[in-house]
Amino acid sequence: MAIRSALLALVAGFCWVSAVGAQEDGAAKYQDADGEEIFGPDYQPQSAPEKGLPLYIGRPNAGISVPDGLLLLPQDSFRAMSDTWSLPREDLQRQLPNDVPLLRDVRKGIQTWQMPRLTPNRRAPIQSTDATAEMKVHYVYVGQGAGAIIELPCGVAAVDLGGEFGGGSGSVDGGALFVSYLKEFMAQHPVYGNKLDVVYLSHAHADHINGSTELRESGIRVEKVVDNGQTTADGSVGKQTEFRNWATEGDLKRRYSAVELARQVTATGATNAAIDPFSCATVTAFWGGANERLSIPTYSNPNNHSVVLRFDFGQASFLFMGDLEADAAKDMIDQFDENIEVFDADVLQLAHHGAENGISDELLNVISPRIAILSMGDKASTGSKSAWKHGHPRLDSLSILQDDPVTVGDMRSTTQTFWGSPGAKKPPKEFAVSRAIYGTGWEGTITVTATQSGQYKVSANEGH
């Protein structure tokens, strides 16, 4: 352990710089050259001591179809434990199907093992007979950051809690903006009982969890929490740990799920009763905490430990990338090379607010989105965490989204002129958007409405 710690410290020393001063929320101990909080010699995440519910095999509406019987099997049961298995050998039913996509070095250890009868961890999604049933995703304007509300006929969730923070000129309190929008939403939808069925935290960066304090004080209840499992008492990871413990009231075994790379075995993603508490939709999680990769410089940034989420509502599909950067996204695609179609989705929330390192032709080719959403700040904001400081969204990213042959599939009804940045702290330039690319910093909160037949309608609130 001492050798591992020394190695991590040595590697981290090449990619971190000490914060010149404490960030506005007092979180960052180490920052990279772009001012993002990163891990450093004495700021290292640990795996959650209590991982909550076991991860089960995901069955998203894309990629290889998984047999029903296999959905009852926890992913941990696929791992060989010396000469024994992690489940009893009684009541054997059938052999493991040959067509189940498994990550590397797993199948050869399973051979002809058979699986016992198990109790389902979650209900299968119920297809609504109501042709008018809709799913809505509210991508809330939170300045520079991200926060979304998932509105379903059978429940409601939040993906990240936004947003920009700090007291610089023109900056906004994104966390307060998100919770304010959420409170208004709950007041308008009393059917949800002022309760979030689940809060998903993609990763521990302030612009994604900055509303956790406001949410705790809002009176809105949280039933379950899903995050990347990273745990410590310091920095933004400390905030994530604190929120997890508060929301679950110590009942982590039933109300929490850690999504960690090391726990995932099948190349169909992961699910359980926390990741997917809904009867009318299917939610699948991918990637997440990769603490075993912390010795790789790329993984000193919490961005690359993002939980990636997929929502399926009938034929409609939404993908949330957190802030997963291109290098880690390539690693993820490599891990899922037996089943990369699992990431094929219609509505994509781009990683990292439209930064160049959050997008690639390879990733877009795999996802083939019809609609792209950028959660980013207003160009008028010049505060410490503004889009202006980071140069989001980049003009190069916008060009990739529109350039042939890899493009966003749908078109806007009319071409509109917005803006993008050539680089950090550089004046933005106008950019004509003809395809279905929407930005919260351009148009305010964006709502995408989907039917179960896969029809979409996009609306924007320009007042922000």
**Which residue matches tokens 């696929």?**
78
Q: Is residue 46 part of a domain?
A: yes
pLDDT at 114: 52
SS3 per-residue string spanning 278-294: CCCCEEEEEECECHHHC
Q: Is residue 124 part of a domain?
A: no
Q: Is residue 349 part of a domain?
A: yes
> Whole-angstrom Cα distance, residue 182 to residue 174?
12
* Residue 173 DSSP one-character state: -
> Whole-angstrom Cα distance, residue 257 to residue 125?
19
pTM higher than 0.85 for the full model?
Answer: yes
Of the CA atoms within 13 Å of residue 406, those in its CB half-sphere come to: 15
CA angle 287–69–228, rounded 5-degree value = 15
Of the CA atoms within 13 Å of residue 278, those in its CB half-sphere come to: 27
Task: Identify which of 327, 322, 299 has the alpha carbon closest to the alpha carbon of residue 310.
Answer: 322
56-73 b/e (C-beta count within 10 Å ≥ 16 → b): bbbbbbbbbebeeebbbb
> Whole-angstrom Cα distance, residue 3 to residue 9?
10
Q: Is residue 70 part of a domain?
A: no
* Residue 266 DSSP one-character state: B
> Whole-angstrom Cα distance, residue 210 to residue 2?
33
Percent of the chain with pLDDT over 70: 79
pLDDT at 383: 52
E strand or H helix at 199, and its extent? strand 198-200
Tens-digit pLDDT profile for residues 66-114: 877 677 778 887 765 434 444 444 444 445 666 677 777 676 665 544 5
Tell me, what CATH number does 368's domain have? 3.60.15.10
> What distances in angstroms separate CA 358 from CA 13, 205, 327, 354, 363, one per listed residue?
24, 15, 9, 6, 9
E strand or H helix at 176, and its extent? helix 174-188
Q: Is residue 199 part of a domain?
A: yes
Q: Is residue 97 part of a domain?
A: no
Ranges 84-88, 104-108, 129-133, 241-245: which has the least confidence: 84-88
Q: Does residue 219 surpass a pLDDT of 70? A: yes
Ranges 68-77, 143-152, 204-213, 313-322: which has the least confidence: 68-77
Tens-digit pLDDT profile for residues 365-416: 999 999 999 999 887 655 545 677 777 898 889 999 998 887 899 999 999 9
**Rounded mean pLDDT of the chain?**
84
37 lies in which domain range? 2-55+135-460
pLDDT at 165: 76
Q: Does residue 303 surpass a pLDDT of 70? A: yes
Question: CB–CB of 315/453 below 8 Å?
Answer: yes
> Whole-angstrom Cα distance, residue 102 to residue 104?
7
Helix (H, G, I), strand (E, B) or coil at 53: coil
pLDDT at 78: 75
Q: Is residue 440 part of a domain?
A: yes
Q: What is the number of domains present in the chain?
A: 1
> Whole-angstrom Cα distance, residue 117 to residue 101?
21
Task: Identify which of 269, 247, 253, 263 has the alpha carbon closest to the alpha carbon of residue 47.
Answer: 263
Q: Does residue 266 surpass a pLDDT of 60? A: yes
Of the CA atoms within 13 Å of residue 7, those in its CB half-sphere come to: 9
Strand pairing category for 437-439 and 371-374: parallel
> Whole-angstrom Cα distance, residue 38 to residue 303?
9
Q: Is residue 28 part of a domain?
A: yes
CA angle 409–161–459, rounded 5-degree value = 40
Query: pLDDT category, 352, cuts 50, 70, 90?
Result: confident
